Amino acid sequence: SRRSDMEANGSIRDAIENRVENVLEIIMPQLEINIDSKRLRDTYRKNAKMDGQVRSIFDELMLTINTWHVKDSIFKHASAISQDLPRDYEDMDKTAVRMGYFSRFQTGETEKLRILESTVEDLQSDLQRIRTLYKEEMERLGEEISGLRLDLVDSNNRRVELQEDIIIQERRMGEEITRLRLIVDNDTIVVTSLSNELEIVKQERERLRDEVKNLEAKLDSCELSISKRETKILSLEAYVERLTDDKCEMKEVMAEAAGKLRASERVQEELQELNEKIAAKAKKINSLMKTHLEQKERKIEMLKEAERFYWEYIRQLRTHFRSRVAWNSDEIEHALSLHPTQFDAINDFLLDIRQNKTVVRSDASYIMAIIA
């Protein structure tokens, strides 16, 4: 806006300068007054304010008009002298006649009188012409001055409008700067809050990673317990096979004992006692095998339940990682309390691991792939 104001002021100043220079170029040659046009133009251009420029131009013009008035007064004085010349000539003629010089100077005085009369006529015609030109130029100058005054009023109005526009623009710029500062402050507050939330999310992510590591450790311990139980089951199966073999051997022994009993009553009594012992031992072995098999099946079911529970817990953790919604400690304890039987079995497995100190390698990469 300031640049446009400067361009508008420059165009107005150039228009006034051109009009004044045109007026001076027309007036000065006709009035035959020596005015330093270059000095007038330089003074006009160096003046910064519009009022000063116009005032300087009017001062120069008034100086020109006053100079013309001085010349006009000289012409009027010459006209008065020319009007007094006939009377002076008569006095000179009377004096010449009285003094006897008329005949001697008559020819020269007549020529001088003719020259003076022609000079007076020329001066009167010049005076009339100058008066006519003065009147015309004064009218034209009045019109030019009126135009300059109108231009001055327009320039002043334009300057007032530009000043008002500048004030309005400055006020708008101030409001815009204030609004932008408020926006920057709000953005700073939002960025700070987002940074704090990002730090909280990072801390939550680290905590969840620690929980995942703990769960991996628990899964490893569960795998160790499962492997240990499988080993125990295999050992029990081998023990049952050995008991079966022993039973077969006992049958053979019983057959031999029966033969010996048929051979001898004493041997038969001993065989009877031995059969009773074998029957009690076989009964005890059968009950022990039944108990071991029931415990094995129950523990296998408990292991399956624990495995399903842990896979469900891993699935919930994977959902938690996707939704980024943190669990608190109360929710975790509640989730763990839903399956006390499975956790009793898991605690037994952990106790066995602590007592036996066995380590079985788990496929952690497979578990991490499921969690991801």
Instruction: Break the chain into its structural domains and give their ranges.
Output: 2-185, 208-371
In whole angstroms, give the CA distance from residue 183 to residue 362: 56
Q: What is the pLDDT of residue 7?
A: 55
Sign of torsion over alpha carbons 126, 127, 133, 136: negative
Tens of pLDDT, residue by residue, the chain (372 residues): 455 555 545 555 565 556 556 655 555 554 444 555 555 555 555 554 445 555 555 566 556 555 555 455 545 555 555 555 556 556 555 655 555 544 444 455 566 566 666 666 766 676 677 777 777 777 777 787 777 778 777 777 887 888 888 888 888 888 888 888 888 788 788 778 888 888 888 888 888 888 888 888 888 888 888 888 788 888 878 877 877 777 777 777 777 766 665 666 665 676 677 778 777 877 887 788 788 788 878 777 777 776 677 677 667 766 655 554 444 445 445 544 544 544 555 455 545 544 544 433 343 343 334 333
Q: What is the pLDDT of residue 42?
A: 59
Q: Which of 189, 242, 213, 198 is nearest to 371 (CA)?
A: 213
The answer to whether the CB of 357 falls within 8 A of the CB of 228 is no
Q: Which of 175, 198, 199 is nearest to 183 (CA)?
A: 175
Per-residue DSSP letters for 3-52? HHHHHHHHHHHHHHHHHHHHHHHHHHHHHT----HHHHHHHHHH--SHHH
Q: What is the pLDDT of residue 366?
A: 38
In whole angstroms, give the CA distance from residue 198 to residue 258: 88
The pTM of the full predicted model, rounded to 2 decimals, is: 0.25
Q: How far is CA 160 from CA 7, 9, 22, 30, 153, in A?
A: 15, 12, 28, 39, 10
Q: Which residues contact 225 (CB under 8 A, 6 or more apart)?
A: 303, 346, 348, 349, 350, 352, 353
Residue 115 identity: I
Q: What is the pLDDT of residue 216?
A: 82
Q: Which of 61, 79, 40 is nearest to 137 (CA)?
A: 61
Q: What is the pLDDT of residue 308?
A: 75
In whole angstroms, give the CA distance from residue 164 to residue 367: 76
Q: What is the pLDDT of residue 249?
A: 77
In whole angstroms, give the CA distance from residue 186 to residue 189: 5
Q: State the helix-helix crossing angle for 50-99 and 37-46, rounded to 10 degrees.
A: 160
- The structure tokens listed for 13 are 């100043």
Q: State the helix-helix crossing angle for 265-323 and 364-371, rounded to 10 degrees.
A: 40
In whole angstroms, give the CA distance from residue 176 to residue 179: 5
Q: What is the pLDDT of residue 107?
A: 52
Q: Which residues contact 261 (CB under 8 A, 6 or more apart)?
A: 267, 268, 269, 270, 271, 272
Q: What is the pLDDT of residue 168?
A: 87
- The structure tokens listed for 328 are 């608190």
Q: How far is CA 65 from CA 27, 31, 40, in A?
A: 10, 9, 15
Q: What is the pLDDT of residue 260?
A: 65
Q: What is the pLDDT of residue 166?
A: 84
